[in-house]
Amino acid sequence: MRSIILQTATRYLLPILLLFSFFLLLRGHYYPGGGFVGGLVASIAFVLHSFANGAEATMKILRRKPLSLIPIGLAISAFSVFLPTFFGLPPMTGLWLEEKIAFLGMVGTALLFDIGVYCVVVGVVLTILFTISLTKD
């Protein structure tokens, strides 16, 4: 049974929750938040949409299988870990841009790592959700 109230609320909540997850991602290297928490909030947004409209409708919104986000996120995180070695520094050393960016603040390898974690978390959670919900007995 699908609720029209939940479907209508989800239509408005999905973009708001995704925007909030992006906010948590961007503020994570200064304050609590980051890739993990932002990824969980984004996943919750899609889970809510899946509850309201079904897993098939949510898969149509995503356009790609969430499983493809996992290797992309791992590659971005690995790149941020090994980027300092190209400058003669140990792995996982934080590199930062000289200038602050308007609403982001200081941008560096910590943000790249968080973006990778964000992709991995969204990919894992949604892969598990869709595997469970789309399996037919």
Q: Indicate the length of the chain as a whole number.
A: 137
Name the token pair of 92.
Answer: 């996982």
Helix, coil or strand: residue 89? coil
124: confidence class by pLDDT, cuts 50, 70, 90: very high
The answer to which of 27-41, 42-56, 84-98 has the lowest mean pLDDT is: 27-41
C-alpha–C-alpha distance, residues 54 and 68, integer Å: 21
In our burial notation (b when 16+ CB lie closer than 10 A, e otherwise), range 22-37 reads eebbbbbbeeebbbbb
CB atoms within 10 A of CB 71: 12
pLDDT at residue 137 in the model: 47
Q: Which of 72-76, 118-122, 133-137 has the lowest mean pLDDT?
A: 133-137
Taking every pair of C-alpha atoms in the chain, what is the biggest distance, in angstroms? 60
pTM: 0.89
The three-point CA angle 33-35-39 to 5° equals 100
Identify the bridge partners of residue 105 per DSSP, sorted by sequence position.
101
Over residues 17-26, the pLDDT tens digits come to 999 999 999 8
